[in-house]
Amino acid sequence: MNLIEFLAPDFVFENEAGCLKQLVHDGWKQVNVITSVRGSVRGGHYHKFNREAFYVVSGAFKLVVWQTKDLKEEYSIQQGDFFCINRNVFHSFEYTEDTVLVSMYSRGVELDESHKDIWLQ
């Protein structure tokens, strides 16, 4: 069982002028751009109500995902990878290069004025 799903862009157009990648055209409410420096670690949490997708603009990192100590997976993620982490899957990012990501939440992380869909171990 894979704890993440690798995705393909909805549409890609390339010509001599460059490239346009339409990652998604619906199904996502909140979109963020994240920059992380080499050697940093982020995450260590899960989301009860959101699927979270990531597109790697530049850089690389080790992605560790788990639900229990017996159900843990590691991936080497690099520029151009596009993947989704489902609800209730812990995730942690160990950056091996300076990295720029686009992240998308299916519902949005803010549940109300004082609560977020971010749950720690």
Whichever domain contains 64, its CATH number is 2.60.120.10
Q: What are phi and psi of 76, to 5 degrees?
A: -95, 115
Q: Quote the percentage of the chain above a pLDDT of 90.
A: 93
Query: What value does the mean pLDDT take over residues 77-94?
Result: 97
Helix, strand and coil content of the chain, in percent to the nearest 5, comes to 0, 60, 40
Domain that holds residue 98: 4-10+21-120
Residue 15 domain-assigned (yes or no): no
pLDDT tens per residue across span 1-47? 689 999 999 999 999 999 999 999 999 999 999 999 999 999 999 99
Model confidence at 121: pLDDT above 80:
no
Q: How many separate domains does the chain show?
A: 1
Across 9-18, 88-97, 112-121, least confident range: 112-121
